[in-house]
Structure 1
Amino acid sequence: MDTPDRIDWSQARWLNPPLRSHVDGGDLLITTDDRTDFWRVTGYGFTHHNGHALLTPLPEGTAVEVDFDADFSELYDQAGAMVYTDEFTWLKAGIEYTDDAPHLGAVVTRGMSDWSMAPVPEWRGHRITVRVSRRSDAVTVRARRAGESWRMVRLAPLDPTAPAAAGPFCCSPLRAGLQVRFTGFRLTSADTGIHDDPAG
């Protein structure tokens, strides 16, 4: 699968449908419900599993790319790509708004969640692509601003025999009404190596 296959929005399944969603000229526009998130226990003592994700199967040896833009303005507003096995095992990666700036980061959950991030204020107002690539026992996460090179975000474990799905996600933990425009959703071949940039 050297050439990415565009995934039609209608071919994927919702994990927690959003308040509103519709297709606009090929893009998918999503408006989040009130106080939505994916998180398990760590640091906060609560579990939230009501964020919005639109998922398609992610077999070993494949990758999903998600393009999006949004006006992140409230604490913890977030969007990007998710890899989902079950409510105890998942990964989300992309942009999260905190400390008055967009941050590039990831949450990996295996029973309990962790969180890593770095500020990317120069990405504000730009289209972002997140790529999640599954090969062997790992998921490699990369991201980039439109027109720039990929940045490595995370390498995380994933049971090679586990059924998993991936696709765009978004959440707004402290409010309703975050609007996200997803402009692309593609399935392609997994990265050939951890240090090899994907084509394109």
Structure 2
Amino acid sequence: MVKSVLLDEKFKSRELSNLLRWHNEPSKWSIDTTSSQLVLETDEETDFWQKTHYGFENDNGHFLYIKTNKNFRMTTKVKAMPNSKYDHAGLMIRHSKNTWVKSSLEYITPNLSKLGAVVTNRGYSDWSTQYVKDKEIDLYLRLSRINQNCYVDFSWDGEEWMQMRIAFLDLPDDSPIAAGLFACSPQGKDQTVRFDFLAIEELSDPNEAYL
């Protein structure tokens, strides 16, 4: 069961919640109070990735987060308007540059994108994906942390959820972790991203992560 609300940010005010902090704040961002959305544009060549396959280490993506040591469920609704290959945005939980998880829809070609999750442990990233034949869609994402376990889900309507990934995080059970929204443009810049909300709820029952 949900114990308490850790964050309920609906972007109705021009000021962010005082609980939120930036990792690599984007040069351009604002809150559109007319549509109640956080709107940002990505800076050039920003990404989160560690070593695997490509051999490079990038830790300069934009990340808006709170810190908590609780077990939680986090949800958002996001729409990205990509400009360049690999543009993506979504949800992230992060212990350090070597231990984190992100979920998003990543733009590949004008006809195909990859819906997936990247899990990074001990400084190495992996990427599980499935193809989606859209690039500018309203996507709901959900990411839950239960001790050392992470559960990643997505939804087209915010009601029916589909599991994308279950992963292990190499960190202490009660370790504080950052949780929030992220956006990246590994090969370009000026991807426009709109987030409708960020909700983070503490979980008292580990089985809630499966729902």
Please give the TM-score of this superposition, normalised by the length of structure 2: 0.85
CA contact under 8 A between 2:146 and 2:209: conserved in structure 1? no
Aligned-residue CA RMSD (Å): 2.0
Ranges of 4+ aligned residues in structure 1 off by more than 6 Å? none
**Deviation sequence 1:65-110 (CA, Å, 0-9, x none):** 1211122342101011000111111111111112441221011111
**Deviation sequence 1:116-170 (CA, Å, 0-9, x none):** 1101225x43311111111132011111112551111111113312210111101
Q: Does 1:142 align with 2:153?
A: yes
Q: Does 1:95 align with 2:95?
A: no
The one of 107, 121, 146 aligned to 2:133: 121
Q: Does 1:66 align with 2:76?
A: yes
The one of 46, 49, 56 aligned to 1:39: 49
Question: Match of 1:170, as an amino acid?
Answer: A
Identity %: 34
Query: CA offset at residue 3 of structure 1?
Result: 7.3
Q: Find the aligned partners of 1:54 and 1:112 in 2 and give their Cα distance.
A: 22
Find the counterpart in structure 1 of residue 124 from structure 2.
Answer: 112
Find the counterpart in structure 2 of residue 196 from structure 1.
Answer: 210
- Tell which deviates more after alignment, 106-115 or 93-102: 93-102
Secondary structure of the 1:74 match is coil
- Size of the aligned set, in residue pairs, is 196
Gaps of 5+ in 1: none
Question: Structure 1 pair 137/182, CA: closer, same or farther in 2 (3 Å)?
Answer: same
Secondary structure of the 1:193 match is helix
Question: Structure 1 pair 116/99, CA: closer, same or farther in 2 (3 Å)?
Answer: farther
The one of 130, 145, 164 aligned to 2:177: 164
Question: Match of 1:41, as an amino acid?
Answer: K
CA contact under 8 A between 2:89 and 2:105: conserved in structure 1? yes
Query: CA offset at residue 187 of structure 1?
Result: 1.1
Find the counterpart in structure 2 of residue 19 from structure 1.
Answer: 27
Gaps of 5+ in 2: none
Find the counterpart in structure 2 of residue 77 from structure 1.
Answer: 87
Q: Find the aligned partners of 2:69 and 2:163 in 1 and give their Cα distance.
A: 21
Please give the TM-score of this superposition, normalised by the length of structure 1: 0.89
Query: CA offset at residue 196 of structure 1?
Result: 3.3
Question: Structure 1 pair 141/86, CA: closer, same or farther in 2 (3 Å)?
Answer: same
Q: Find the aligned partners of 1:182 and 1:75 in 2 and give their Cα distance.
A: 20
Question: Match of 1:113, as an amino acid?
Answer: S
